[in-house]
Structure 1
Amino acid sequence: MHAPTTLPLFLLVLHCAALTPALAEDALPPLDDRHLHVIPRTDAESARIAQALNRPDDPAKSEPFEANPGGAATTRAIDTADAFSQSSENMPFDREMDFKLGNGLFRKTWVASPASTRASDGLGPYYNARACQDCHIKDGRGHTPETADEPRVSIFLRLSVPGGTAPDGIPGHIPTLPEPTYGGQLQDFAANGLAPEGQMAIRWTEVPVTLADGTTVSLRRPEYSVADPSYGPLHPETQLSPRVAPQMIGLGLLEAIPAADILAHADPEDADGDGISGRANVVVSAEYGVPMLGRFGHKAGNPTIKEQSAGAFSGDMGLSTPLHPAPWGECTEAQVACREAPHGQEPDARDGLEVDSQSLDLVTFYARNLAVPARRNAEDPQVLQGKTLFYSAGCPACHVPKFVTHRLKDQPEQSFQLIWPYTDLLLHDMGEGLADNRPEGRASGREWRTAPLWGIGMTEQVTGHQQFLHDGRARSILEAILWHGGEAQPGRDTVATMPADDRAALIAYLESL
């Protein structure tokens, strides 16, 4: 695949005209990017980057290289379900084998122990999926079940209860503990001989919303519960939160954004009075043992792709990794049969783990290098009209269009790229309608990380559906917008009062990303 020609950034910035300084969260501990091998920027580079990130004078005009959202890593947009499964276009040839090996592990179907295959056993004993690909369908989004009896794959319930202690040095952390019997998430499947922990139950209520021009849009409001719990009732203070698997493209580029540049957009006290008060989630790294900026997950609960991947191996599939070495996944002490069930750890194998360090690194490399497709129709007049409306509605306050990544020693694909993810990776109060009332780190029960918008218009092509937001409740981009509340309420209301032609232009712009 060949992406459209992308000039090096040192040439690109000459065409671009500065990131307006915003207030950082001064009370936070130092949040360095220790997981990356960073080459510091020079003062001259920083000045040119500030120019490149300036808000456009006229949003109705396309910007240089806007059509390549992943910079030189952008891949050509293809019209098949494999559009999200391409590698970084600028990947050196000698790294392509690692991508393919990581892809094989990502698609690998695991089996429970004991099994005739020692290389693929160790699943569970409780689990939500048998392969990474089962949740991230074609490297895209998961979805909600269509019927009451459809297996709950690519969506699951997080569980917690209030309590515990906040980590030292992280102000604003809201302590929670895993549900004492069922752990941190509900597993809907189990190995032979064991009953699943329970079944996620969803009840939908249709809520009609009438827009200013008389158009009626039906929103579906979900109510979640646990049916048939195998170990008795859940704790009375259990906090339930659904999670649909997000799309995988561009993760390495998001990881390569300097933490300082993300924090520059934080304004927790809304000191500038614009109604937007993005906050950073800060979590203790499972790999490094220090506070780091959360970037991944619907509430930015993980700091790196590696930790996000290791958490999924453990929680979703019950597989041990160097970061989560328990062979039973997250089974609690109350789940004796699970902890005593056969597992796939082998003392004579590398690391003695079900997913050894090399395999985890390969999956991380694969996830880091899933490329963002080039934009479609970026010069279309309706799309450019929609871009103007996107800006006038205030959407870029959270869906920040562009960043420049770190210059990196050993990641040429992500190094020093102008990217267009349309996210600030910060937490925002999204209102009571979207609240799950379950804290995570510094995120309250009303806060969510701003979702990246790149690739959003290819969702149906890749996964066969259009489902958005953290639990897939929105069945279209318009429904997703109409669910916005809290800090995003003014922008939502602006869209609700638009004439039909303007709404169509806005949606056309979003679908072009």
Structure 2
Amino acid sequence: MTYRLAFTAALLLAAPAMAQTLDDRHLPVLPRTPAEAARIARVLAPPTDFSAPEKFEAKPGGAATTRAIATADAFSQSSENMPFGREMDFKLGNGLFRKTWVAAPSSTKASDGLGPFYNARACQDCHIKDGRGHTPEGADEPRVSIFLRLSVPGGDPVPAIADYIATSPEPTYGGQLQDFAAPGLTPEGRMGIDWREEPVTLADGAVVSLRHPTYRFEAPANGPLAPDIQLSPRVAPQMIGLGLLEAIPAADILAHADPEDADGDGISGRPNIVMSAEYGVPMLGRFGHKAGAPTIKEQSAGAFAGDMGLSTPLHPDPWGDCTAAQTVCREAPHGQEPGIRDGLEVDAQSLDLVTFYSRNLAVPERRGLDDPQILRGKEIFHQAQCAACHVPKFVTNRLKNQPEQSFQLIWPFTDLLLHDMGEGLADNRPEGRATGREWRTAPLWGIGLTEQVSGHSQFLHDGRARSVLEAILWHGGEAGAARDTVVNLPTGDREALIAYLESL
């Protein structure tokens, strides 16, 4: 950890253009006192006793944690510590999140402007019950909640971001495949998926089958794709705890980075640093499968534009992801009208309400954390070095006028950094500083409630893993040693590890 703190200081000193933005300018931060910093360091120390749960471990979202309920609404509850006066904003944001948009022109002036090309008509269509998306079960099932990112190598450099990898949207089809269109228009195409099963034998003789996907852009409506096209699938992630992740001090995230693996543990996490659409400067990426967005607001605005073709203050073009080559799309009717919604399709107030809702979807409390099997699984989790990337706990910034996320001990099980996950998970598509083999460490809180909320147990960036164990077996690269440890575990210890993860 000493080296990693030194890396943070070196990063800030070596790149002044970057250094001035690797902060928490998106938050109303109240500085920590030296006494608080010392107390936080003691609280965040790794456990050494696995005979009982740690103090406050039952509340992964701190005071914002909600009680666990045995229904599909477990991820749709508001922060438990939300003041009563703010609950209306949460409910209004929920209404906008669930709102079904329609194509223009329409008599429904408050809801028109969808598309012209799009992937979904509502945020909730992808984040079903605020949970994870899924892969299609059959060839004819709509691809809602999963889509293909598109890019080609090259593009404008960003000198302010070290190690930035320039890419550009596909010249004809833009940044993602949109498989729905407004009336009278033809969708861009369709995602095709082929699956191949591969059996993996564990040390105790158990056999687990991993499914390998191959993705295609089928039936392109506007001619062939660029020959150097880069395709990458994306399943919508769960929504809980986003505001708490946003409130982690940037310095505390950077303290876990070790890009040269100077401590020799095989783990070399790196921060993704991205240009902020709101602030106009490079910022630490936190959200998305490759940490390509710095704030919840920017992630939300990007989804409005790319997934639904809706304009916002951060992306004011009414045609969403349509390129200059798609003239029919750009010339189609849109929902921008003077004097209505700030002349946009999603005005500033609506974007803020959706951001507030997304920020305050609560993490449910832990279940069974004092069960002996689960405690044994926790010990194995740490022994296998899973916690090197899935960092269990942080303390959020102390914040002014944002009580739900202010100064909370949280247990997200992520470092929000990029890690090389090996060739098996590589999409070979860079994003910002992230290479085609790197992915942001996914938070694990709530993972055991996935099937209850979403009706499936699919994991990883494209849902290829059908269980927690399959997800572990897909780990490679920096996580290869941890995966091999799990492969070689006795049956009882492996079951204990899975039980622990499913209690999160």
Determine if the TM-score, normalized by the shorter chain, exceeds 0.5.
yes
Kindly provide the CA deviation profile for residues 362-403 of structure 1, in whole angstroms up to 9, marking residues without a partner as x.
Answer: 000000000000000010010000000000110000000000
Q: Structure 1 residues 19, 422: closer, same or farther in 2, change over 3 A? A: farther
Which of the numbers 356, 359, 366 marks the counterpart of 2:357? Answer: 366
> Aligned ranges for residues 59-78 of structure 1 at < 5 Å?
59-78=50-69
Q: Distance in 2 between matches of 1:339 and 1:126?
A: 10
Q: Residue 486 in 1 paired to residue 477 in 2?
A: yes
Q: Distance in 2 between matches of 1:122 and 1:101?
A: 20
Q: Distance in 2 between matches of 1:154 and 1:179?
A: 21
Which of the numbers 502, 506, 511 marks the counterpart of 2:497? Answer: 506
TM-superposed CA distance for 1:23, in Å, is 4.2
Deviation larger for 21-30 or 465-474: 21-30
Please state whether the residue corresponding to 1:96 is helix, strand or coil: helix
Please state whether the residue corresponding to 2:27 is helix, strand or coil: coil
Match of 2:294 in 1: 303
Q: Distance in 1 between matches of 2:50 and 2:475?
A: 23
Residue identity matched to 1:53: L
Q: Distance in 2 between matches of 1:61 and 1:279?
A: 33
Contact map agreement 1:429 1:448 (CA 8 A) in 2: yes
Which of the numbers 9, 13, 23 marks the counterpart of 1:32? Answer: 23
TM-superposed CA distance for 1:24, in Å, is 2.7
Please state whether the residue corresponding to 1:143 is helix, strand or coil: coil
Kindly provide the CA deviation profile for residues 43-78 of structure 1, in whole angstroms up to 9, marking residues without a partner as x.
Answer: 111010111100112234310000100000000000
Match of 2:256 in 1: 265
Kindly provide the CA deviation profile for residues 490-511 of structure 1, in whole angstroms up to 9, marking residues without a partner as x.
Answer: 0000000111111110000000
Match of 1:96 in 2: 87
Match of 2:43 in 1: 52
TM-score scaled by structure 1?
0.96
Match of 1:294 in 2: 285
Q: Distance in 2 between matches of 1:135 and 1:372?
A: 19
Contact map agreement 1:302 1:308 (CA 8 A) in 2: yes
TM-superposed CA distance for 1:410, in Å, is 1.4
Match of 2:395 in 1: 404
Which of the numbers 249, 255, 275 marks the counterpart of 2:266? Answer: 275
TM-score scaled by structure 2?
0.97
Contact map agreement 1:19 1:55 (CA 8 A) in 2: no
Please state whether the residue corresponding to 1:246 is helix, strand or coil: coil
Match of 1:148 in 2: 139
Unpaired segments ≥5 residues, structure 1? 1-17
Q: Structure 1 residues 74, 20: closer, same or farther in 2, change over 3 A? A: farther
TM-superposed CA distance for 1:116, in Å, is 1.6
Q: Structure 1 residues 362, 19: closer, same or farther in 2, change over 3 A? A: farther
Q: Structure 1 residues 137, 383: closer, same or farther in 2, change over 3 A? A: same
Q: Distance in 2 between matches of 1:322 and 1:169?
A: 24
Deviation larger for 449-458 or 162-171: 162-171
Unpaired segments ≥5 residues, structure 2? none
Q: Distance in 2 between matches of 1:67 and 1:354?
A: 42
Contact map agreement 1:378 1:512 (CA 8 A) in 2: yes
Match of 1:497 in 2: 488
Q: For this pair of structures, how many residues does the alignment match?
A: 496
Which runs of structure 1 show a deviation greater than 3 angstroms over 4 or more consecutive aligned residues? 18-23
Q: Distance in 2 between matches of 1:429 and 1:166?
A: 23
Please state whether the residue corresponding to 2:234 is helix, strand or coil: strand
Deviation larger for 270-279 or 53-62: 53-62
Please state whether the residue corresponding to 1:164 is helix, strand or coil: coil
Contact map agreement 2:97 2:123 (CA 8 A) in 1: yes
Match of 1:390 in 2: 381
Which of the numbers 410, 422, 425 marks the counterpart of 1:419? Answer: 410
Contact map agreement 2:114 2:121 (CA 8 A) in 1: yes
Q: Distance in 2 between matches of 1:150 and 1:476?
A: 22
Q: Distance in 2 between matches of 1:22 and 1:220?
A: 39
Please state whether the residue corresponding to 2:7 is helix, strand or coil: coil
Q: Residue 321 in 1 paired to residue 304 in 2?
A: no
Q: Residue 256 in 1 paired to residue 224 in 2?
A: no
Match of 1:14 in 2: none
Please state whether the residue corresponding to 1:185 is helix, strand or coil: coil
Contact map agreement 2:3 2:258 (CA 8 A) in 1: no
Percent same amino acid among aligned pairs?
78
